[in-house]
Amino acid sequence: MTIESRQDFEAKITTWLAERRQDMIDLLEVLVNIDSGSYDKSGVDAVGTAVRTFLEGEGIACETLAIENKGDALRAVVAGSGGSANRVILLMGHRDTVFSRGEAAKRPFTIEGGRAYGPGVADMKAGVVMNSFLLAAFAKFGGAPAPMVGLFTGDEEIGSPTSRPIIEAEARNALAVFNSEPGRPTGNIVTGRKGGVFFRCDVTGKAAHSGANFQQGVSAIEELARKIQSWHRLTDLDKGQTVNVGLISGGQSVNTVAPSATCDIDLRYVEPGDRDEIVNAVMNIAHTSSLAGTSAEIAIMGEFRPMKPSAEADALFERYVASAAEAGLSIEGEFSGGCADSGFAAGVGAPTLCGVGPVGGKAHSAEEYLELDSLVPRAQAAALTILRLNT
């Protein structure tokens, strides 16, 4: 593409996006007012239908990848203008939220003092809206140096158990991945994330009356308590490695030696190469009885890969920072201990940026907010970056 034609695309697309501000807010209102908790398939799919209706109205081809029990994945494709046909520019967003049915009726989409509120308004229905308008802009004007794929998935908040293979397959062909999780409250984007592994461990002991037959019992609670101490000792803050038992339950009654106990464990780490060693350490503690007569089973319930910076990702970040500056934004990269789908994309080697969505805060709480004035410039920053990608 010549510089003149690129500048022509840039002007047309950034102007069009600026003119769509109210349309973006209108679509956001529709999406926020649909309950779409991760386990609410019909709600997550209803959000997908609303997105698909918008995209098809803009002449964009969509396909639905059916998923049992969780929200279907929606995949939209916009042709590129020359350049590479084999590699794609991937825009990712999840349609599910952490809120259960009835939340939207309780606190529907509202606007107050330049901020929008409502369940999932920032995390990440605003990002879904932004990606939809980016696809629409490039469908209308062209200029993308490679085909663009918009992937709208439905189970990120529970670790993307069904979306992960879809994301990884798409990311393997991607020359750049933009995950439109909300920008940090500072406006910064996310250039690195920890990996996370979520375990459940069930401990079995032996029930007995704690008064009459105390010595015949074997306490699963005592065994679990000892294991918890061992797990927590695996934490190594210098390495950014943490183990947190966040949930426990167990026992039968106060006067029974506990026959069973269960916990959920959250492991976070930074270096992809550290994963197996620390996972094995967690497993070994589960499988080693400290109290004779107990046994335990442990399973991985969900997992996110770390997003580790790479030379290619750094170059993409530099391009993004320069593009954002032209959209009037001053952006830095941040590391986050939180996990997201961007880790799966980065894990298969795709240059990936996360948190490029509109800016918001207090996600997963009733105070969650979105800065409405960030909708247009964040979309423009992503658009300018896409136009300047090397293919």
User: Which residues form the interface with Zn ion (CB under 5 A)?
Assistant: 123-124, 181
**Smallest gap from residue 335 Cβ to Zn ion (A):** 17
**Smallest gap from residue 115 Cβ to Zn ion (A):** 18
**Smallest gap from residue 124 Cβ to Zn ion (A):** 4
Which residue has its beta carbon closest to Zn ion?
123
For 108, the token pair is: 């529907």
Residue whose CB is less far from Zn ion, 9 or 178:
178
Separation between Cα atoms, residue 156 and residue 311, nearest integer Å = 27
Peptide bond preceding 124: is omega within 30 degrees of 0, i.e. cis?
Answer: yes
Residue closest to 182 by CA, chosen among 202, 208, 156? 156
Biggest CA–CA distance in the chain, Å, is: 89
Residue closest to 150 by CA, chosen among 139, 141, 160? 139
Separation between Cα atoms, residue 119 and residue 100, nearest integer Å = 9
For 226, the token pair is: 């000892």
In this structure, how many other beta carbons lie within 10 angstroms of the beta carbon of residue 280?
Answer: 10
C-alpha torsion angle, residues 175, 181, 186, 189 (rounded to 10): -20
Residue whose CB is less far from Zn ion, 124 or 285:
124
Residue whose CB is less far from Zn ion, 124 or 167:
124
When computed from its CA atoms, the radius of gyration of the chain, rounded to whole angstroms, is 23
**Smallest gap from residue 266 Cβ to Zn ion (A):** 17
Separation between Cα atoms, residue 224 and residue 261, nearest integer Å = 7
For 333, the token pair is: 């990269």
**Smallest gap from residue 341 Cβ to Zn ion (A):** 8
**Smallest gap from residue 389 Cβ to Zn ion (A):** 24
Residue whose CB is less far from Zn ion, 123 or 303:
123
Residues in CB range of 358: below 8 A, 6 or more apart: 122, 126, 127, 129, 130, 180, 182, 183, 370, 371, 374, 375, 378, 379
**Smallest gap from residue 47 Cβ to Zn ion (A):** 13
For 290, the token pair is: 């400290």
Asked whether the beta carbons of 218 and 291 are under 8 A apart, the reply is yes
Residue whose CB is less far from Zn ion, 45 or 123:
123
**Smallest gap from residue 95 Cβ to Zn ion (A):** 10
Residue whose CB is less far from Zn ion, 181 or 223:
181
Residue whose CB is less far from Zn ion, 72 or 123:
123
Sign of CA dihedral 11, 16, 19, 23: negative
Identify the helix (H) or strand (E) that includes residue 342. Answer: helix 342-347
**Smallest gap from residue 361 Cβ to Zn ion (A):** 13
Residue whose CB is less far from Zn ion, 71 or 145:
71
Residue whose CB is less far from Zn ion, 14 or 131:
131
Sign of CA dihedral 119, 345, 284, 267: negative
